[in-house]
Amino acid sequence: MENFWANAVFSVTPTILIGLIFWMVMRSILRADRTERKVYARIEAEERAKLGQPTPETPAP
């Protein structure tokens, strides 16, 4: 019984560490996707402005 808490901590630690790593990876993937979409939308808006086309947010005249 003297090693109960040590065994409990050592058995839960790998699960917590893997969960944190998974969370960090998913967070970085989602942030990268959000940033990429933002940049792509900005580039697309610039190209539409060069060509004189309306943006999807504004209705065509």
Predicted TM-score (pTM) of this structure: 0.65
Mean pLDDT, residues 48-61 taken together:
73
28 falls within a domain: yes
Asked whether residue 5 is assigned to any structural domain, the reply reads no
> Residues near 38 by Cβ (< 8 Å), separated by ≥ 6?
none
Q: Which residue has the tokens 């790998």?
A: 14
Residue 34 resides in a domain:
yes
Top pLDDT among 27 and 54 is at 27
| Of residues 20 and 8, more confidently modeled | 20
* pLDDT above 90 for 2: no
Number of domains in the chain: 1
Residue 47 pLDDT exceeds 80:
yes
| 61-to-14, 18, 44 alpha-carbon distances in Å | 60, 54, 20
Domain-embedded: residue 61: no
Q: Where are the alpha helices (DSSP H) in 1-61?
A: 4-51
Full domain range(s) for residue 40: 20-46
Instruction: State yes or no: pLDDT of 61 exceeds 90.
Output: no
